[in-house]
Amino acid sequence: MLIHSINIVHKMSCLYKLCGVVVLSLMLLVSSGQVKAQDAAAPAGGGDAEKGKTLFTNNCAQCHSVTGEKVVGPGLKGIETRAPSKDWLHKWIKNSSALIATGDAYANQVFNANGKIQMSSFPSLSDADIDGILAYIDGANKAPAPGPTATTDGTSSAPAAAASSGPSELFTFVLIALLLVMLLVLGVLLAIVSILSKAVSPITAEDVTVVTSTFGQRLKTGLSDAFNNPTLRSIVIWLFLLVAAKETFDGAYSIGIQQGYAPKQPIAYSHKLHAGQYKIDCNYCHTGAQKGKNATIPAANICMNCHGVIKKESPEIQKIYTAIEENRPIEWVRVHNLPDLAYFNHSQHVNVGNVACQTCHGEIEKMEVVEARSSLTMGWCIDCHRRTEVNTKDNAYYDKLVALHRKESKEPLKVANIGGLECSKCHY
């Protein structure tokens, strides 16, 4: 009988150790799952929708939300039931204007219904890539909705939110639930082990009360023993350390990623009013964008070209006057900011590459307050360089390169082919 009990105690403590190992591995899984969810730039591993999410974030999120919310283009919730066919979607996303030109009824209807804004073409996306994007959109609508947060410009920041959630969040949730259950089992097992080991030790007067007490009381003494148990204590400490390490790691990962950042500015300047309603050209104020590295923020005297007469009495405009009188610059809060280790040049993109401001910054002319729409991560830069064809039209500089490239490949000349993936081009 005694030997039998000792056997049970031994088996129980083995089980208990096994539980400990399972809990630790679950912890590791949870933290690695988190990292995967954060790092949109990493090559996708977990199936089509995961890859689709990266593609969507880097190519579509500045114009589309995955919900019903309209950004520049319509919200893409339920797109597969709305569009004529999957084949139609492949054609549309690769080159919407070509499809419109064929006279396709639905294509023309969508085009006209959205103010005839031309959607970018994505000839380099394969059918499988597009199916991945569609799977991601579908999945994002099945997962618990992230609840779009309205921003001051009335549009939704849902694309940014949706981009950072997705199926892997559910995965993490399930893992955490499992972890909690395992921890509970661990505690109960420990309690039982300590009760049993007491039961098999030589009987003392004290133990008689334990044996005769109710099971509930036994569990209670077992639990209080458990807290004094050095093994359990060390497990708790380890768990704590793991969680702390994970938090630090996640924090480090999100440094520099400010997608969705829309700080309040010292003067209630509105792009929606100036660039949208009054159609003032971006280059009128951001004079550097065509010429050099920085797009530059306009100095107060550029505002005075108009506000020397317009709305002088407004308290917001008076702030411009005060700044000029005190001879100090207006302290605009910077929205986009690459770390010093990376080099980005506006004129290379805007002037030479002919890339529109909106491709990277979103529809600034609809924003009351500027919001960072792109992640500005290395993955974001690289992804565009892999997909975007070099604008070689009317640029003699590229003639030789194009001829050379044609000999080697049938693919069009991409930024990646002219050195757009070389570390030294973007890093000093």
Of residues 140-169, which lie at the interface with ligand HEC (CB under 6 A)? none
Nearer Cβ to ligand HEC (62/197):
62
Residue 260 makes contact with ligand HEC by CB under 6 A: no
3-state helix, strand, coil in the chain (%, to 5): 60, 0, 40
Nearer Cβ to ligand HEC (4/393):
393
Q: Which stretch binds ligand HEC (CB under 6 A): 5-13, 153-161, 231-239, 379-387?
A: 379-387
Q: What is the spatial distance between Cα 158 and Cα 311, in angstroms, rounded to a whole number?
A: 35
Residue 377 makes contact with ligand HEC by CB under 6 A: yes
CB of 328 to ligand HEC, least distance (A): 14
Nearer Cβ to ligand HEC (59/194):
59
Burial of 410 (0-12, 13-18, 19+ CB in 10 A): exposed
CB 102 within 8 A of CB 88: no
CB atoms within 10 A of CB 381: 23
Residue 381 makes contact with ligand HEC by CB under 6 A: yes
| Interface characters, 21-60, with ligand HEC (x: CB under 6 A) | --------------------------------------xx
Q: What is the spatial distance between Cα 379 and Cα 46, in angstroms, rounded to a whole number?
A: 18
DSSP labels for 43-63? Answer: PP-SHHHHHHHHHHHHHTTTT
Binding residues among 310-369 for ligand HEC as defined by CB under 6 A? 310-311, 314, 316-317, 320, 332, 334-339, 341-342, 344, 346, 348-350, 352-353, 355, 357, 359-361, 364-365
CB of 10 to ligand HEC, least distance (A): 50
Residue 45 contacts by C-beta under 8 Å, 6 or more apart in sequence? 36
| Interface characters, 78-107, with ligand HEC (x: CB under 6 A) | -x--xx-----x--xx--x-----------
Nearer Cβ to ligand HEC (22/280):
280
Reading the block at residue 158, the tokens are 């849902």
Query: Three-state SS string across 178-211, please?
Result: HHHHHHHHHHHHHHHHHHHHHHHCCCCHHHHHHH
Binding residues among 282-311 for ligand HEC as defined by CB under 6 A? 282, 284-286, 289, 294-298, 302-303, 305-307, 310-311
Binding residues among 189-248 for ligand HEC as defined by CB under 6 A? none
Reading the block at residue 49, the tokens are 């929708």
DSSP labels for 249-275? Answer: HHHHHTTT--TT--PPPSS---HIIII
Q: What is the spatial distance between Cα 124 and Cα 128, in angstroms, rounded to a whole number?
A: 11
Out of 278, 308, 322, 406, the only residue in the binding site for ligand HEC (CB under 6 A) is 278
Residue 147 contacts by C-beta under 8 Å, 6 or more apart in sequence? none
SS3 227: helix
Nearer Cβ to ligand HEC (173/332):
332
Binding residues among 107-146 for ligand HEC as defined by CB under 6 A? 110-111, 114, 116-120, 122, 133
